[in-house]
Amino acid sequence: MTEVMFVLAASLVFGIGVWGLLIAEHLLRKLLALNVMSSSVFIIMLVVSGDGGTSPDPVAQALILTGIVIAVAATAFALALMISIYRATGRPSISESDDDDR
């Protein structure tokens, strides 16, 4: 019951993340959407690894913990990239029209 509920909720969150990623112009928004998506994947990873008992799979937990830390490292690097793009172009976004400006 709980498992099914969390899987469904996480799937919705994943879909919302995809939607947010597609409609976001601002790179910071895209990063937020990506982080939301990764959270939902972590939830599903943990829920399906368990056997319905009270102690989830320790390997899955360790993998997710690694994933959370990698996600923050990647986010920090992406934020530095975004700031560089803003410095260079004056815009916090990447769009096809960027090529026309040159």
| x-or-dash string of contact with another protein, 64-93, rule CB under 8 A | xxx-xxxxxxxxxx-xxxxxx-xx--xxxx
97 lies in the site for another protein, by CB under 8 A: no
Alpha-carbon distance values, 98 to 49, 67, 78, 87, 94 (Å): 44, 33, 19, 14, 7
Instruction: Determine the size of the site formed for another protein (CB under 8 A).
Output: 80
| x-or-dash string of contact with another protein, 33-62, rule CB under 8 A | x-xx--xxxxxx-xxxxxx--xxxxxxxxx
Residue 8 and residue 37 in contact, taking contact as beta carbons nearer than 8 Å: no
Q: How far is the CB of 34 from another protein (least distance, A)?
A: 10
